[in-house]
């Protein structure tokens, strides 16, 4: 597994397993067991996924030492104050059956994110979180955060895939020494990206699946990826992407198919953000 060094000196496995929308305990536990078996050590969840407890159980039942694992969770939008964020964090810690998190993120740039960040800085300084970051933040959100932040985010986790490449944000994050992490790296099944003829051609040339080509493309952009699957074959296939490389020409070919096509919520949509705050 390749590792990326974050701006605070910590390292993060560049590929992990996401568990978004995994709403069955058995499915999640079997997926985690399979992932651990084939070499995954990085697992990404969130309070709003309502599966932190199952992930905690699955990891506790394994024989992998805690120090070999990288666990991420996220504070949800209904927590808007310093105290609420501290409480939410400790609830996540308890569910995940661990003494610390490797990475804790603000899930969306909704109301109160500067106060949430202040709480996360405190947890970081107390040694309860190895790295802190954000999710779904674009440049204006990051600039507003940095007006009060004392610690720079280590990671920004945003929707990124070949039809929504976030090129400008990627360059901005590189200039800020903030790691770019992709959620929905395979397009979430909401577009026909896995059937794109450019990607199919490249996959055939490497005797790989289109999904493997997409994941390799992310890795070569220095992006962290967390593909989600509960199927053993795909879990194994998704990590089998470190034995080939895409050429500069192939990287350019993939760059050319960008449609700026967002598949999920827009962090610039204030009404959308307000609507999320009533969810629990």
Q: Is 40 a catalytic residue?
A: no
Given the residues 49, 104, 113, 124, select the one marked as catalytic: 49
Task: Give the phi and the psi of residue 183 in degrees, each rounded to 5.
Answer: -100, 155
Say what the pLDDT of residue 184 is: 93
Reported in sequence order, the residue ranges of the chain that DSSP labels E, i.e. its strands, are 3-5, 11-13, 17-18, 42-44, 70-75, 101-106, 129-135, 155-159, 179-183, 224-225
CA–CA dist 237, 241 (Å, integer): 8
Question: How open is the CA angle 188-190-191, to the nearest 5 degrees?
Answer: 110
Verdict on whether the full-model pTM lies above 0.85: yes
Average confidence score pLDDT of the chain: 95
Look up the CATH superfamily of 12-188+221-239: NADP-dependent oxidoreductase domain (3.20.20.100)
User: If 0-12 CB within 10 Å is exposed, 13-18 middle and 19+ buried, where does residue 21 land?
Assistant: exposed
Share of the chain above pLDDT 70, in %: 100
* pLDDT tens digits along 13-71: 999 999 888 778 888 999 999 999 999 999 999 999 999 999 999 999 999 999 999 99
Neighbours of 18 (CB within 10 A): 23
Task: Give the phi and the psi of residue 231 in degrees, each rounded to 5.
Answer: -100, 125
* pLDDT tens digits along 222-237: 999 999 888 999 999 9
Domain ranges in the chain? 12-188+221-239
């Amino acid at each position: 597994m390749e590792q990326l060094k974050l701006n605070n000196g910590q390292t993060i496995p560049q590929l992990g397993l996401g568990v978004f929308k995994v709403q069955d305990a058995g499915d999640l536990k079997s997926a985690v067991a399979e992932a651990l078996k084939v070499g995954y050590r990085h697992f990404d969840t969130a309070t709003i996924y309502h599966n932190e407890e199952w992930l905690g159980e699955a990891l506790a039942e394994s024989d992998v030492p805690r120090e070999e694992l990288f666990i991420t969770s996220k504070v949800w939008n209904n927590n808007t104050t310093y105290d609420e964020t501290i409480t939410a964090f400790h609830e996540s810690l308890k569910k995940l059956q661990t003494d610390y998190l490797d990475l804790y993120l603000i899930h969306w740039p909704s109301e109160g994110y500067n106060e949430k960040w202040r709480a996360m800085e405190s947890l970081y300084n107390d040694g309860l979180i190895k790295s802190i970051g954000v999710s779904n933040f674009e440049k204006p959100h990051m600039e507003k955060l940095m007006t009060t932040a004392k610690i720079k985010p280590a990671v920004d986790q945003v929707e990124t895939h070949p039809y929504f490449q976030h090129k400008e944000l990627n360059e901005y994050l590189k200039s800020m020494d903030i790691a770019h992490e992709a959620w929905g790296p395979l397009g979430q099944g909401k577009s026909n990206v896995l059937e794109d003829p450019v990607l199919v051609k490249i996959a055939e040339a490497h005797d790989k699946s289109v999904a493997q080509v997409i994941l390799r493309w992310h890795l070569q952009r220095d992006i962290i990826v967390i593909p989600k699957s509960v199927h053993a074959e795909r879990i194994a296939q998704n990590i089998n992407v470190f034995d080939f490389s895409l050429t500069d020409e192939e990287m350019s070919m993939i760059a050319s198919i960008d449609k700026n096509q967002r598949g999920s919520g827009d962090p610039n949509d204030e009404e959308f953000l307000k609507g999320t705050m009533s969810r629990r």
